[in-house]
Amino acid sequence: MKKMKLGNELLENEELIIYKQCSNFLIFFKYKTYNMNFDLVKSAFHTYFNLTFPRILRRKQYGPLRFTYVNLINIISNGLNLGKLFTLKSSKPNDRQVLGSSCKKSWKIELGVCNVSLVECPFLGRILTKLRENLISGIIMVSVLEQMKMSTKVVADCVDFKVMKQVGAVDATTNPSILLAASKLDEYKRFLDEGVAYAKKYGSSLSREELRALAMDKIAVLMGKEVLNVVPGRVSTEVDARLAFDKDAQIVKALAVIKLYEEEGITKERVLIKLPSTWEGIQAARVLESKHGVHCNMTLLFNIYQAIACAEANATLISPFVGRIRDWYLKNTDAEDYSRETDPGVQNVRKIYSYYKKYGYKTEVMAASFRNVDEIKGLVGCDLMTISAALLKDLSVDRENIPVILSPEKAKSFEMQKVTLDEPLFRYEMNEDKMATDLLADGIRRFVADARAMEALIDKAL
């Protein structure tokens, strides 16, 4: 249990913020985040106020403000009982707030939609300082994962249902590599069997190649359906990477996958179709989003120009890769390692996020492909992050206090002129970026290799 040393008085502009998350409350003191059980919070408040407050109210000098303080205690007490958010924030009083020479600070109490402004006589600061000391006795540092979830949606980059539940993931992503690995495990073999059985039943007139493709799509959908029984949001399902340079074929495949989901009772609003961020993939997303209402997740994205093209196509979400960019620079430059500030993959996502927010694009940024927790910590505040099971576990036990790095407000100062891309300019900028060109081609090859390995498993079962 980690405790924090406290000063004797609350500092100017310091905040005490408490809000409920799951069964616990998160407590903030001067940019530090702590976690404690609901009952401990209530006990700390009620014990102190029940013992101390009546004596204070009997003091003559506080008589005129007794009702105000009683109201304060009622607000806090009721808020705790209801599990509501409230904030106590100190600030210098203005002339209207000053009721007497003893008033040094005003305290703004925010409880849900109910805001109450109070003016402090000297004892209120002492009450809150003592209260803070009582709270600390039961406080435990919040994990990096819990801190992240305050500003970033956490997405599970796996089909490990147990991990999804444990970390409270809101969405989940899949790809051919994940499906292949899962299909080799006994606990997920039923998806392979069910997908093959479906293809045999409904694909009697299909060629063997078409049967394999149908079975593979069905397996992905069955796993996606299972994921959606665990996460409250969306699942990403990828189209065959061999279609990366065929716009029309990607559209047909995406609609076929959506139809398979609908057969399972899953609406298209809960599905993101993953497409590679080639020019053809981006144009397929434009059609799917505008004409069919199908939401797209643009993957294998490695530079700002791919990101801009995706945003101009109104793609729902992009997945810029972080770790693969780092790997490329370590292999192709003299760099030996990177910090979270110098990591080129982290810098790329920061650039994309800032560009999107500065120019008002609605496309969400979901950072992906992490190699370590430092990369994740360097992107706190990003719209979403999709994280492997292993790194999610690491984040859940890490107790470092981390700041929010990305925000729409910070993005306003980002310096880059707005760019309008057509196909020639897109292809030129990709050609100029050796890293992005190499990694896009390599990523497609990897997904194709895993798709072929998956087909080999299906062939054995057909």
Q: What is the pLDDT of residues 421-460, one digit of tens each?
A: 999 999 999 999 999 999 999 999 999 999 999 999 999 9
The values of phi and psi at residue 160, to 5°, are -85, 100
The values of phi and psi at residue 232, to 5°, are -80, -15
User: Taking a C-beta distance cutoff of 8 angstroms, is the pair 277, 301 a contact?
Assistant: yes
**Is residue 26 scored above 80 in pLDDT?**
no
For 101-156, the DSSP string reads TT---EEEEEETTEEEEEE--HHHHHHHHHHHHHHHTT-EEPPHHHHHTTTSEEEE
> Quick count: other Cβ atoms within 10 Å of Cβ 151?
16
168 — pLDDT class (breaks 50, 70, 90): confident
80 vs 460, which has greater pLDDT?
Answer: 460
Q: Residue 77 has what pLDDT?
A: 56
Q: Report the chain's mean pLDDT, rounded to a whole number.
A: 79
**CA of residue 353 relative to chain centroid, distance:** 13
113 vs 45, which has greater pLDDT?
Answer: 45
With 0-12 CB in 10 A as exposed, 13-18 as middle and 19+ as buried, what is 346?
buried
**Is residue 390 scored above 50 in pLDDT?**
yes
Size (the chain), residues? 462
Q: Per-residue b/e over 237-260, b at no fewer than 16 CB within 10 Å?
A: bbbbbebbebbebbbebbeebbeb
Residue with tokens 């790329």: 348
In the set 274, 351, 377, 418, the catalytic residue is 274
Pick the CATH number of 145-461 from 3.40.50.1000, 3.20.20.70, 1.10.10.10, 2.40.170.20: 3.20.20.70
- The mean per-residue pLDDT over the stretch 258-270 comes to 98
CA distance 257 to 250: 11
**Maximum separation of any 2 CA atoms in the chain, in Å:** 92
Q: Residue 399 has what pLDDT?
A: 82
Q: Residue 126 has what pLDDT?
A: 53
Is 60 one of the catalytic residues? no
Task: Provide the β-strand partners of residue 119.
Answer: 106
CA distance 146 to 451: 35
CA distance 396 to 45: 28
Domain ranges of the chain: 15-142, 145-461
- Please report, rounded to a whole number, the percentage of residues in the chain having pLDDT higher than 90: 58
In this prediction the pTM is 0.74
From residue 374, alpha-carbon distances to 20, 258, 303, 333, 349 in Å are 27, 36, 21, 21, 14
